[in-house]
Each structure stands twice: as structure tokens, then as C-alpha cells.
Amino acid sequence: MIDKPIRVTFLGTGTSIGVPVIACNCPVCKSADPRDKRFRTSAIVDVDGQRIVIDCGPDFRFQMLKNQVEDIDAVIFTHEHRDHIAGIDDIRAFNYILNKVIDIYASRPVIDSIRTEFPYIFSENRYFGAPQLNINTLDGRPFMIGPTEVIPIEVQHNKLQIFGYRIGDFTYITDASFISPASIEKIKGSKVVVLNALRNSKHVAHFSLQEALAVIEQIKPERAYLTHISHFLGLQAEVEPKLPENVKLAYDNLIIDIQ
């Protein structure tokens, strides 16, 4: 395992439609608390001199600008839904400014979806302005990004098998509705776990708050952060005080360090 410090920045902690929701007048969507304003879920992991982005959805460009990110080494994808891949075209800014090709890592279904959604990236007569990507297809086995080992964690998103990822003592999982005992064992020992918690009531494709807390109790990390949060969960200031001491609601631009 990695014995070097890890810094995680939450670029986005919201659902596929974000928070506030367009045209919604609920208390969460009208909240003045910046923690209640959530872009689509994504994070960036700084470890061993590398910057690894997890998912780049439709808010990717603004997230990079907001956090003053001037270089990335790789993007790893959890799954193929558009709120996790739609920002891939904006990777080209790093190609232009840094004059480098960006590595992306994803399962075969994700790569196939990217090829379908962004065919111009892969055309034989590639458009000059298209993103320059080095494609790495994952098969569920641990892989290396430079000197950093990344362990895929298989979870279910309703009927879709997707990946979470463990990097050293940090595990990041979003959009899960079920985690098998075998995958739970891969997560155990993580000091920090990030897990999705959509809302209070049950959902077919996402953990509810209570389901997420039950999984965290199984894993017993030192700290846990909840992400992929909808406006139905409630106000940050009201929900967080009711959580177990070691569990927090993540929010956009939150930075955490793992030693």
C-alpha cells in the first residue's frame, strides 16, 4: 500500500442534475449555504506527485477553473453515465497548454460509451482540436498510474457493474446500490472511505443515507464522507449533526488529507 500522504479535493458532490435543481424552490435549492450547492460528482487525488481525477462530468471545465487545477496526470472513470463522462472534451485544454497526452482508465463498457458519445476523438482523420487521450482498458485487476497502485472495487449500480477505486488508505465509491462481501473486504483497512448517499428514502440504483451508514459501519474506517447527494437529503447544516461522529457530508471544494 501507498505510504505517502494523499490529498483529496471534492470537485463535485451532487447528483446527475446537481444542486440546486433547475426550477426547484425547495429549502435546499434556495439555501444560501455554499455547502448546499453541488456540482456533478467528481474528485481529484494528489499522491506521489501525481494528480488523478476520478470522473469528469458536465461541470469538469468549471471545476478545474474553480480549483485552479493547472495539470493532471490521468482520469479514471467509475462508469459510463453522462454525469460522469460528459466533460471529457475539456481534457483538450490540458493537451494544448501542457503539450501532453492524458491517460484515461476505464472498463471496456465505459470506453465503448466514450467512443459512441465522442466519435470524433477516435476518428482515423482526427480533428485537430479533439482531445488527445491514451486509452487504458481495465479488467478489474489492480493497475499502476506511474508509481501509484490503484485497486478497482466492483460494486453494483442497480444492474450495472461499475468501479470504485482504492488508492492506499483511501477508497472512493459513488453510485453504488450494492457492495458484495468480497468488495467490502477490499475496502476494509481504508482510513478514509467516500460513499454515495442519495437521499433518505430507498432508491433502486443508489444507497440511501441509512444504507450508506450501514455499509460504513461494516467497514469501520477512521473517517467517511458522503457524496452524490441530492436536494432530497436535506440541508447540510441540519443533516450533518445527526451523523455518526466519524461520518461527514462532503461538499464541493472540500479538501481532506490522509497521512
Q: What per-residue confidence (pLDDT) applies to 100?
A: 95
Q: What per-residue confidence (pLDDT) applies to 175?
A: 98
Helix H or strand E encompassing 101:
none
Percentage of residues of the chain with pLDDT beyond 90:
94
Distances in whole angstroms, Cα of residue 66 to Cα of each of 6, 18, 37, 83: 21, 16, 14, 18
> Of 178 and 4, which is predicted with more confidence?
178
- pLDDT single digits (tens) 29-39: 999 999 999 99
What is the model's pTM?
A: 0.96
Q: DSSP letters of 111-179? A: HHHHHHH-HHHH-TT--TTS--EEEEEE-SS-EEETTEEEEEEEEEETTEEEEEEEETTEEE--S-SB-
Helix (H, G, I), strand (E, B) or coil at 100: coil
Alpha carbons within 13 A on the beta-carbon side of 76? 29
Domains of the chain: 6-258 (3.60.15.10)
Rounded to whole angstroms, the Cα distance separating 195 from 209 reads: 10
Rounded to whole angstroms, the Cα distance separating 151 from 9 reads: 19
- pLDDT single digits (tens) 207-244: 999 999 999 999 999 999 999 999 999 999 999 999 99
Helix H or strand E encompassing 193:
strand 192-196
Write the CB contacts of 20 (distance below 8 Å, at least 6 apart in sequence). Answer: 28, 29, 30, 31, 36, 37, 231
227 contacts 196 by C-beta, under 8 angstroms: yes
Average pLDDT of 5-10? 97
Amino acid of residue 77: F
Q: What per-residue confidence (pLDDT) applies to 3?
A: 73
pLDDT range class, residue 1, cuts 50, 70, 90: low
pLDDT range class, residue 68, cuts 50, 70, 90: very high
- pLDDT single digits (tens) 76-129: 999 999 999 999 999 999 999 999 999 999 999 999 999 999 999 988 877 778
Q: What per-residue confidence (pLDDT) applies to 204?
A: 97
DSSP H stretches of helix in the chain: 60-66, 82-85, 92-98, 108-117, 119-122, 181-187, 209-219, 236-239
Average pLDDT of 180-205? 98
- pLDDT single digits (tens) 115-124: 999 999 988 8
Task: Kindly tell me if the per-residue pLDDT of 2 is higher than 80.
Answer: no
Percentage of residues of the chain with pLDDT beyond 70:
99
Q: What per-residue confidence (pLDDT) applies to 10?
A: 98
Q: What per-residue confidence (pLDDT) applies to 144?
A: 97
The grid coordinates of residue 35 equal: 455547502
Rounded to whole angstroms, the Cα distance separating 166 from 144 reads: 12
